[in-house]
Amino acid sequence: MGKCLSWKYFSLLLSLLFFHSQFPFSSSFSSNSQCSALLHFNHSLSLNSSASPPLKCFNSYPKTGSWKEDKDCCTWDGVVCDNSTRHVIALDLGCSWLSGSIHSNSTLFVLRHLRTLNLAGNYFNSSLISPEFGKFQSLTHLNLSHSRFYGEIPYEISQLSLLVSLDLSYNWGLLIKTPVWKRVIGNLTQLRELLLDETNMSSITPSSLMNLSSSLTTLSLGGCSLQGTLELNIFRLPSMQILDLGGNRNLEGSLSRSNWNSSSLNFLSLDHTNFSGELPDFIGSLKSLEYLYLSACNFIGAIPTSIGNLTQIINLDLSYNSFNGLLPLSIFDLPNLSGLFLEHNQLVGPLPNHLVGVVAIEIIGAQFLLCLA
């Protein structure tokens, strides 16, 4: 665009400023001004396919590339409006090739009626997460994952008291400090999904996890530099389905029967942590468990025979521990198992006859991986 604004861009900016001055974030904020805000937000960024690479986006395309100034923005790709008020209530620009910075004066923050905002899988050039995000008071879902945000998570995020899902994961360089974390726990009582993988949480005490909402179904804190001893009661959160604490090398803990809520957990990852002790017989009572990752910890003792009761299990990784004794043959009768990893333990005993000398077989069309070396 050079040093001079194009007339089209200049007129768009004037229109936006006019509507902003006439209706400063009021309930009468018009559809035209919302469309102008969206266009201005779009023009502040560029489109680059490398901003949404396949490793983080299975299906990416430039949604905003089809936005037209002469169209009602409620018909635009990624935009959802309320049928009665015509307010923009959802903006889904995940994996949309967006590249650039989001500053605090961005017209994105004009859209105060948003309930869902997804900007995941883009490249925002190490932008700070603006405190202005805290003004989206109607938000229930916020996803800024995999988008190259950087710096401290602002206190204002904790003001979004209606949030059901918050995903800030995989923005390497994000930091959450104790005052913000305490406020998130205390104020975001509606949360069901909290994902902060690869966020620096080194100053957060693991015991504070006990204060999370009892309605939480997903807690994903992989690679967050958590350190210290995890309270046993984390496994008692009644609605928990996905618990990922893997990659926290200095996080200590153990598993025992008193820890577990067996009704809903289907994903558990404690790999590459400092968890230790024996695997309890009670593990076999987790009837919904589909994925269990306990590799590279400090577990000892025998693998309980009750593990053969995990009839829903798909992937089971117990590698790189100090498990010993007989390998329960019931593992090989699990109907849905497609990945089994047991290497670098001290397990003994015969394999079932049909597995002797076999390292990879087909079971119901799925590749079954057996690693015992």
- Strand segments, DSSP code E, in 239-338 are 242-244, 250-254, 267-269, 274-278, 291-293, 298-301, 315-317, 322-326
Q: What's the pLDDT at 70?
A: 81
Q: What's the pLDDT at 3?
A: 41
Task: Find, among 54, 173, 59, 39, the residue nearest to 111 by Cα.
Answer: 39
Domain 7-371 grouped into CATH 3.80.10.10: yes
Structure token digits, residue 55: 């490793």
pLDDT in tens, the chain (373 residues): 444 444 444 444 444 454 444 444 443 345 688 999 999 999 999 999 999 999 889 899 999 999 998 889 999 999 999 999 999 999 999 999 999 999 999 999 999 999 999 999 999 998 999 999 999 999 999 999 999 999 999 999 999 999 999 999 999 899 999 999 999 999 999 999 999 999 999 999 999 998 888 899 999 999 999 999 987 677 778 899 999 999 999 999 998 765 566 678 999 999 999 999 999 998 998 999 999 999 999 999 999 999 999 999 999 999 999 999 998 988 988 999 999 999 999 988 777 766 654 444 333 334 455 565 5
Q: Name the packing angle between helices 7-22 and 31-43 (round to 10°).
A: 130
**Rounded Cα distance, 183 and 227, in Å:** 20
Residue 355 φ/ψ, nearest 5 degrees: -110, -10
Q: What's the pLDDT at 12?
A: 47
**Rounded Cα distance, 229 and 220, in Å:** 17
- Strand segments, DSSP code E, in 16-95 are 46-47, 79-81, 88-92
Q: What's the pLDDT at 262?
A: 62
Q: pTM of the predicted model, to two decimals?
A: 0.87
Whether the CB-CB separation of 131 and 158 falls below 8 Å is answered with no
Q: What's the pLDDT at 258?
A: 57
Q: What's the pLDDT at 357?
A: 46
Q: What's the pLDDT at 74?
A: 95
Task: Find, among 244, 280, 285, 247, the residue nearest to 264 by Cα.
Answer: 285
Q: What's the count of helices (H) and strands (E) in the chain, helices before strands? A: 3, 25
* Residue 309 zone, left/alpha/beta (φ > 0; ψ -120 to 50; rest): alpha
CA dihedral 9, 10, 11, 17 (to 10 degrees): 110
Q: 251 - beta bridge partners?
A: 228
Alpha helices in the chain (DSSP H): 7-22, 31-43, 178-187
Q: What's the pLDDT at 257?
A: 65
Q: What's the pLDDT at 18?
A: 45
Task: Find, among 142, 143, 119, the residue nearest to 63 by Cα.
Answer: 119
Q: What's the pLDDT at 26?
A: 40
Q: Where are the domains of the chain?
A: 7-371
